[in-house]
Amino acid sequence: QQQVKQSPQSLIVQKGGISIINCAYENTAFDYFPWYQQFPGKGPALLIAIRPDVSEKKEGRFTISFNKSAKQFSLHIMDSQPGDSATYFCAASMGDNYGQNFVFGPGTRLSVLP
Amino acid sequence: GAGVSQSPSNKVTEKGKDVELRCDPISGHTALYWYRQSLGQGLEFLIYFQGNSAPDKSGLPSDRFSAERTGGSVSTLTIQRTQQEDSAVYLCASSPRTSGIGSEQFFGPGTRLTVL
């Protein structure tokens, strides 16, 4: 119930292409879905987040698509750049957002080829 | 305006020794989290502090692990009798609130622990 599944585990995209990372959850009590970006040697940093009352959120080249009925959400990176090469984590949290109620997916390592 | 800081950035220790890892959260943040990240793996929740409430220790992998948060600010994660499987990056995060948008976790750079 507390798991967030994420795929693919790794992704290689050519510069200018679209990167798509998918996540799925089971617990319908989750109400906040952030994506974190982590560069080597750094801690994760919030990239973009969405609440379940909207189906899509776009910030620059990054878009979250949210399908509440399917309990799935995805990150789309348009016009992918080599600087986007990083590990991406989806996450989900609920109400009081504490401890075990803030759950991260296992991560996707993205490599964008120049 | 500093972010979350952690020290040391790297720690090499011998099996069986105790280690202490420090986290300085962003000033005013009430929530503080510790995670463990093994090489190429996701984030494993360890412990959570929220204000003056009792910490959520449900993620600690064994009784060799403990953490405290003094004065609602600085936190120390202690690992006693370290084992080789404890080798990982230990990440600390803080958050200004505990629910919904705005409860974003701000991560420190981590401490890379190597147990020989």
CATH number, domain of A43, equals 2.60.40.10
DSSP 8-state assignment for residue B105: P
Question: Domain of A85?
Answer: 4-108
From chain B, pick out residues whose CB is under 8 angstroms from the CB of A96: 98-99
Q: Pull the structure tokens for residue A48.
A: 């973009």
Q: Which of A44, A51, A99 sits opposite B48 (nearest CB)?
A: A99
Look at residue A61 and tell me if it is in a domain. yes
Look at residue A66 and tell me if it is in a domain. yes
Instruction: Give pLDDT, residue B98.
Output: 58
Chain A touched by B42 (CB under 8 Å): yes
Q: Which of B47, B98, B108 sits opposite A97 (nearest CB)?
A: B98
The three-state DSSP-derived secondary structure of B53-76 is CCCECCCCCCCCEEEEEHHHCCEE
Instruction: Give pLDDT, residue B84.
Output: 96
As a whole number of angstroms, the distance between CA A50 and CA A33 comes to 5
CATH superfamily of B14-100: Immunoglobulins (2.60.40.10)
Tell me the nearest-neighbour CA distance from A98 into chain B, angstroms: 6
What is the band of B99 on the pLDDT scale with cuts at 50, 70, 90? Answer: low
A112, with CB counted inside 10 A (0-12, 13-18, 19+), is buried
Buried b or exposed e, range B13-48, using 16+ CB within 10 angstroms: beeeeebebebbbbeebbbbbbbbbeeeebbbbbbb
Q: Which of residues 37-76 of A touch B (CB under 8 A)?
A: 41-46, 49, 51
The CA–CA distances, whole Å, from A69 to A22, A23, A54, A83, A89 equal: 15, 14, 12, 34, 22
Domain count, chain A: 1
Instruction: Give pLDDT, residue A16.
Output: 97
Read out DSSP for B3-55? --EEE-SEEEE-TT--EEEEEEPPTT--EEEEEEE-TT---EEEEEEETTSPP
Instruction: Give pLDDT, residue A30.
Output: 87
Look at B42 and A89 and tell me if their CB atoms are within 8 Å. yes
Answer yes or no: is pLDDT of A51 > 90. Answer: no
In this prediction, what percent of chain A has a pLDDT beyond 90? 76
In this prediction, what percent of chain B has a pLDDT beyond 90? 64
What is the band of B50 on the pLDDT scale with cuts at 50, 70, 90? Answer: confident
Q: Closest chain A residue to B97 measured between Cα atoms?
A: A97
Q: Pull the structure tokens for residue A73.
A: 């959400």
Q: Which of B42, B98, B99 sits opposite A105 (nearest CB)?
A: B42
Q: Closest chain A residue to B56 measured between Cα atoms?
A: A99
